[in-house]
Amino acid sequence: MTQHLDRRHFLGLAGVTASAAALAACGGPSTSGTPVASEAAELDFSGVKPAAKIDFWSNHPGKSQDVEKAIIEKFHAKFPDIRVNLVTAGANYEEIAQKFQTSQAAKSGLPGVVVLSDVWWFRYFTNGSIIPVDALVKQLDIKLDDFRKSLVDDYKYKDKQWALPYGRSTPLFYYNKDHFQAAGLPDRAPKTWQEFGEWAPKLKASSGAQYAYIYPALAGYAGWTLQNNLWGWGGSWSKEWEITCDSPESIEALQWAQDSIYKNGWAGVSSKEAADDFSAGLTSSTISSTGSLLGVLKSAPFNVGVGFLPGGPKAETNVCPTGGAGLGIPSGITKEEQLAAGTFLKFMTEPENSAAFSAATGYMPTRESADMKAVLAQTPQIQTAVDQLAVTRVQDNARVFLPGADQELAKAAAAILTQQADVKSTMTSLKKTLEGIYEKDVKPKLG
Amino acid sequence: MTRQLAPHPSTKPTKPGPAAAPKRRRWTQRTRRDFFVFLALALPNLVLIAVFTYRPLVSNIYYSTLDWTLGSPSATVVGINNYVTFFTSDDASKVLGTTAIFTVVTVGGSMILGLLIALALNAKVRGTTFARSAVFAPYVLSGVGVGLVWLFIFDPGYGVLAWLLRGIGQQSPQWINDPQLSLVMVILVYVWKNLGYCAVVYLAGLQSLPQDVMEAASLDGANGFRRFITMSLPLLSPTTFFLLITSLLSSLQAFDLIRIMTPLGTGTSTLIYEAYLQAFGAFNRAGYSAAISVILFAILLVITVFQLRFVERKVHYS
């Protein structure tokens, strides 16, 4: 048989190749039906044998890599048939989420257990990326009622438990005791921001620090800590699904924050990490996660004090949000892997391991029965974080349940706190954006 | 018109058979063997290019027609809605504006400063070898490392720049938090990192200029500035053209510095970074991100075709 290879044939060959590529491109997501968060059929693990190996994806919150390794070694000793491979899946919650979402899209390489933050687990739920752990709780006899209620309830939705608390934190008020003493101030955190407003000029005058207070970096989790200011003034980012960031109370709270920087001149905004700025002596006080506690105590060359978050003119208490990360199990892995993951999840959150994790990082113990005596003897400041748990408040839906909202809050906060933008118009614009996200990305998926 | 594979020069022409078409000759054993050699050599590469370049390209165009949340197993076909959403949103003008500013300033800055440095390095004085290496070094450094170091330098709290400014009684600007200053900061670092490449390429161009012509101009009384404007610059046009294409393409695809220095892309969200943020940042809008990528692809294509068709005509190759 003889053939010609002219341009026609060559183009034909190229066409076949391109068509094959085009056909291959038609993979990806299914386009039949509207994506609605699945109700997740009842899972039953009876008769299932746990897998021999699973991955645990963590960003090692609070520099916890060593303690995570130690707990995994203990797990291997107790369950020699299940190997857990600790994977550094990102430097922060966002990077780990990026890797997890990409693996979901690729439908391969998923871990057995994944660290999921307060703003990501709901997204995984709406995408059907994680399973409810109720069946595993029942089968493996996980003592759900021994978890601190406010922490475990954060992962409840539609009467199902979607994750268990792990590296859980609240913001804390950190202050430089030496600066406070030099300014003649009491050795405690201020009860309200108004009280701190009176202290701040004295602090700035006597301390030599650049700021009396520094707002946490906006590129981090501005929306998280600013809830404290909003709630103190009677405002909020949202009430349930109604966006309220433009309410008079919210605007008044943010106006006060802007004034502390531009009008009164005693506050600044951190560029990277407020806890580092505080440790470096740049500021006399700040708000940062409990997860930063041990790092600050180690690195600060001065006496560090911690206290509850200050209240505001409308609310002096219950003005502190919870935060941090939990552990979830992907839906896209085998039942054997899910059971092995459940076994590891149970072990990782046992009271003694919760106490060990807390001792190593400063994150809060998630179990009521965790023996914290030794930990508190070494780091008594952790007690403040534990005590503050009793006066925490569930975060606003707008921050934790709207995809990308945290970033929009950070942008709005940046406009107000670093460019002196008009607070009211910024919040009006933010409300429109957040409502758009809810209508497009959340409402249709809630069914 | 049908073009045939040229027969090998040593192949004797064969007599056309009665059934042969007048303009299509049957393959000889030699041309068939050549064809299989061609396939053996080219096919693996063609397959790799098809799988790893064209397949993702086609996939991306397909995904741009979907309303798809990254990680979700299902999506809705929305046709051109993602494109309409982009071009009718406030984001479009911001992102396109940022892309234009970033591209024009970084390409222009790198090329102009690179040319000036090349002129300095072309002088026959001691130390030019060291200076050439020093200027080129930032180009080969990792963008991530460069970004991290410069972040420390720009830090308004304890950065070197803030320390210098405090020395003269000034407060440091909010380089990282202020979106406008963030863009300035990233542009400065990008130009610093890349101008060494332009300088070295320009230097090679300057050193290959015909010295006899330059000396003749000098003897005719043309001063240094005039020789540069009327002779060196036009003769450097192939170098300029090459740098313009490569710098434009790499600037439009700049990612590492923006990612490290401004993770949220506040004020620095160029087309490519916006595509990344929309899919892999907080939003997970994979379809929308794919549409932005297609827009970027179209812009790159238009720029390249325009440069090849029109700009190259102005180039003096000799």
What ipTM does this complex have? 0.79
Nearest CA in chain B to A98: B280
A6-10, A121-125, B152-156, B237-241: which has the minimum mean pLDDT? Answer: A6-10
pLDDT at B314 > cutoff 70:
no
Give B90-314's CATH code, choosing from 1.10.3720.10, 3.40.50.720, 1.20.1250.20, 3.60.21.10.
1.10.3720.10
| Cβ-Cβ contacts under 8 Å, B180 against chain A | 419
What is the model's pLDDT at position B9? 45
> What residue ranges define each of the domains in chain A, with the CATH number in brackets?
53-168+324-370 (3.40.190.10), 171-321+394-446 (3.40.190.10)
Say how far apart CA B65 and CA B130 lie, in whole Å: 53
The alpha carbon dihedral of A340, A169, A417, A396 has a sign of positive
Q: Does B37 touch chain A (CB under 8 A)?
A: no
Nearest to B73 by CA among A24, A334, A37: A37
* Element of type H or E holding A172: strand A171-176
Both structure tokens of A101: 């979402």
Q: Does B30 touch chain A (CB under 8 A)?
A: no
- Asked if B50 and A219 come within 8 Å (Cβ–Cβ), the reply is no
- Measured from the Cβ of residue A309, the count of other Cβ atoms closer than 10 Å reads 26
pLDDT, tens only, B258-286? 999 998 888 899 999 999 999 988 888 99
Going by the DSSP 8-state scheme, the letter that residue B23 receives in this structure is T
Nearest to A92 by CA among A136, A54, A57, A47: A57
Both structure tokens of A98: 């990026």
B27, B178, B179 member nearest A4 (Cβ): B27
Distance from CA of A437 to the nearest CA of B (A): 9
For an interface test with A, which of B268, B284, B294 has the most A Cβ atoms less than 10 Å from its Cβ?
B284
For an interface test with A, which of B69, B90, B158, B262 has the most A Cβ atoms less than 10 Å from its Cβ?
B69
B26, B177, B286 member nearest A269 (Cβ): B177
pLDDT (mean) for B192-197? 94
Q: pTM of the full predicted structure? A: 0.81
Which residue is it, tokens 């209240």?
Answer: A311
| Cβ-Cβ contacts under 8 Å, B31 against chain A | 5
- Asked if A6 and B283 come within 8 Å (Cβ–Cβ), the reply is no
What is the model's pLDDT at position B4? 43
Say how far apart CA B212 and CA B225 lie, in whole Å: 18
- Measured from the Cβ of residue A296, the count of other Cβ atoms closer than 10 Å reads 20
pLDDT at B317 > cutoff 70:
no
Percent of chain B past pLDDT 70, that is, above it, reads 90
Burial class (CB in 10 A: 0-12, 13-18, 19+), B222: middle
Both structure tokens of B153: 């330098």
A105, A119, A128 member nearest B70 (Cβ): A105
Q: Which amino acid is at B51?
A: V
Q: Does A27 touch chain B (CB under 8 A)?
A: yes
Task: With cut-offs at 50, 70 and 90, classify the pLDDT of residue B257.
Answer: very high
pLDDT at B113 > cutoff 50:
yes
A51-65, B13-27, B51-65, B181-195: which has the minimum mean pLDDT? Answer: B13-27
Q: In chain B, what are the domain boundaries?
A: 29-77, 90-314
What is the model's pLDDT at position A162? 95
pLDDT at B2 > cutoff 60:
no
Sequence-distant (≥ 6) Cβ neighbours of residue A191 within 8 angstroms = A310, A311, A316
Distances (CA, A) of A319 to A123, A223, A288: 25, 14, 14
Specify the 3-state DSSP secondary structure of A144.
helix
Burial class (CB in 10 A: 0-12, 13-18, 19+), A339: buried
Contact A141, A48 (CB under 8 A): no
- Asked if A418 and B174 come within 8 Å (Cβ–Cβ), the reply is yes
- Each residue's pLDDT, cut to its tens digit, for chain A (447 residues) gives 444 455 555 555 555 555 554 554 446 787 765 544 545 556 889 889 999 999 999 999 988 999 999 999 999 999 999 999 999 999 889 899 989 988 988 888 999 999 999 889 998 998 889 999 999 999 999 999 999 988 898 899 888 999 999 999 899 999 999 999 999 999 999 999 999 999 999 999 999 899 999 999 887 688 999 999 999 999 999 999 999 999 999 999 999 999 999 999 999 999 888 999 999 999 999 999 988 898 899 999 999 999 999 999 999 999 999 988 999 999 999 999 999 999 999 999 999 999 999 888 888 889 999 988 888 888 888 899 889 988 899 899 999 999 889 889 998 998 999 889 999 999 999 999 999 999 988 888 776
Q: Does A20 touch chain B (CB under 8 A)?
A: yes
What is the model's pLDDT at position B232? 87
B77, B155, B178 member nearest A272 (Cβ): B155
